[in-house]
Chains A and B, each alone.
Chain A
Amino acid sequence: MIEFCMPSLGADMEAGTLCEWLVSPGSVVKRGDIIAVVETQKGLIDIEVFEEGTIHKLLIKENEKVPVGTLMALIIPAKETTPKTEKRLAEKIQTIRPTPAIQTTAGGMIAAGIKSSFKASPLAKRMASEKNIDLSTVKGSGEGGAITREDVEKALMEKEAGIPVVKPSAVENIRLAVAAAMTRSNREIPHYYLETRVDMSRPLAFLREANKQRTVKQRLLPVVLLIKAVAKALKEVPDLNGYWEYGLKLKSEINIGFVVSLRTGGVMIPAIHEADKKTTDELMDSLNDMIPRARAMKLRSSELADSTVTITSLGDENVETVFGVIYPPQVAIVGFGSITEQPWAENEKLDSRPVLRMTLAADHRATDGNTGSRFLMTVKRNLQKPETL
């Protein structure tokens, strides 16, 4: 029996609400099928299944909010036809499922990340736990902003009077998710920063030639070369491709998270899976497919959860340099400013070149400046041979 659990769609996710099952018991599923839609702070996410088999039982009802890791469904593997292990699993379900339902009040999801930032009196805490009130949503009126009995009573009255606790909009949710992740990053990760300048004459010339052969729709953007150059460099300098989880855990796949700014504010970071193995055309297709979906907050679970390193590129007509904040638990973020005409000294001559400022912000717990430097130099070298990308 295969256990299908609420996936973690990013380090900052604690729970998700099942909005819809797209399958029912008896449905046959295969790897990559979307079987459920889950609402998270990052919007409605299509949840994929990674096994083949037949849906045996759906254990979570629609509109139920459960913590990450909660068993949601049982799937009979393609090879196994009788659910003989069901009884044992049923027992397991009892133990796995958290007894108190997660509070559905707003902000609960990120509360864990910023829990220590509110003060409450012992009485207020006791009352809140008895009455199932999420203190992170209560404003304190006591000394130094401490939450007191009165504040909890007020929150309780509002709850009982059916005044809906204002549910943050999708935009606010994204803001909160970014806030939680970035706060954690700056609190926990000792960043170090490196910067270098890249002469983009050759890559741009290569693109001009390459795009001549392509229809408008197929044309490559400079960012595709940047992504590929980074992905290839990570194969040579793998220490920047991984997670810091009580030590550096390297990842074998190079899944590049690409920061997409939302027009309403906030960012989404969809992952380009195995970017090192994709051709530039495939990368362009990925971007064309993912960016609009990211902006519509319609990403697949694997795209949200799998990135192993992040690229932030501000694109054209923007500032020259960007220093990123690492998306935990990753250990590096590469920043690309916009390409601008700049004086360039080479071979004792002064010239004007299209110049790209490339930065690296990396976790000093995981790597040192030397690693970062090697990585940036490798990216730079890769970019000078665009035809090999």
Chain B
Amino acid sequence: MNTPDGYIKITYREALKQALRVSLQKDERVFLMGEDVGRYGGAFAVSKGLLGEFGPDRIMDVPLSESGFTGAGIGAALGGLRPIVELMTVNFSLLAMDQVVNNAATLLHMSGGQLNVPVVIRMSTGLGRQLAAQHSHSWEPIYAHIPGLIVLSAGTHEDARGMLPAALQSPDPVVIFESNSMLNLEAEIPANSGMVDITTAHVKREGKDISIITYGAGVYKAMDAAQILADAGMNPEVIDLRVLRPLDENAVMTSVRKTHRVLLVEEAWGSVNISAELSARIMEQAFYELDAPVQRLGGMEVPIPYPKHLEDACVPQTADIVTRIKKMLQHD
């Protein structure tokens, strides 16, 4: 297949790497620190080759102590640098939770506005690589709960390449979630695509019958589902939330006012997830626009199993979205 002019074909992993490279090139204060990011090239090979390019001062291997090195990153940010802290996966990030919640997210407040913390914390999230229960969680909602953080989810290749440079310009701590299952996924993106905004949700597909609102690994699944539904005569709108904190309510409510029906899709466990929050806000702000109850497709509330077929069954798939929407629109 030929790539159209001005577009390049790229994997999600490569997009993430280009984001790192561009950011490191652009600003000398930027450096990457994390477990195995240097000599090993990153647990998921995202930073492979960068050590040779930028040297050990800027591609820094750290000991296996999430709390310790995340704290060091926060300190570096306070000291004027622009650290990118890589926490291998969200599963291990719990070890650094105290640093993130009690320091990064609160210091601006505690210092009476004197100390902002311009740290960027990247971490992979989700299942899809058969890594079993302790390496496969989708815990975006935990971070989205915390005031003081900006929480991003890169659900597309453009965002994989464009969110990091934007996050590094933020004066406040930013957490970026990268989807594990998408690393090898190829997509075509504009060759010149660069920094993206990190304040709004994006309408990925215009439609009028129902709004599918999702993020992360749900975005491409929702787009595929929308195409299948379009072939069957339905016209869904797809929204990629992108920013999980603060939520872009305006984009959501605008879409609800247009379609009057909503299906919320995400891989995180159903209870107390982003969809739960959104559902409540839609009810509060757009109740009289609703033509059907807001519905959710979330992750099964189990520790993620190891076998591939059970892993697949744990989170909403394209077929699940199609089935649910047909039920909502046609009651079959």
Contact = CB atoms under 8 A, between A and B. Distances in A.
Is chain B a partner of chain A in the same complex? yes
Interface of A: 121-126, 142-143, 146, 148-150
Contacts of B328: 143
Contacts of B291: 121-124, 142, 148-150
Contact of B292 (A125, A126, A146): A146
B330 to A, nearest CB: 10
A125 B328 CA distance: 19
Chain B interface main SS type? loop
B186 interface: no
The 4 closest A-B pairs by CB, nearest first: A121-B291, A123-B291, A126-B288, A149-B291
A8 B328 CA distance: 44
Contacts of A142: 291-292, 331
Given A123-B290, A149-B260, 9 more contacts: A121-B291, A122-B287, A122-B289, A122-B290, A122-B291, A123-B288, A123-B291, A142-B291, A150-B291
A143 B292 CA distance: 8
Contacts of A150: 291
A149 B258 CA distance: 12
Given A142-B331, A143-B328, A148 B288 contact: no
B135 to A, nearest CB: 39
Nearest to A121: B291
Interface string B170-204: 00000000000000000000000000000000000
Nearest to A144: B331
Interface string B135-168: 0000000000000000000000000000000000
A121 B331 contact: no
A123 B293 CA distance: 11
B283 to A, nearest CB: 9
B289 A123 contact: yes
A148 B260 CA distance: 10
Given A143-B292, A146-B292, A123 B260 contact: yes
Contacts of B289: 122-123
19 contacts: A121-B260, A121-B290, A122-B287, A122-B289, A122-B290, A123-B260, A123-B290, A123-B291, A124-B291, A125-B288, A142-B291, A142-B292, A142-B331, A143-B328, A146-B292, A148-B291, A148-B292, A149-B260, A149-B291
Contacts of A126: 288
A120 to B, nearest CB: 9
Nearest to B290: A122
A150 B292 CA distance: 11
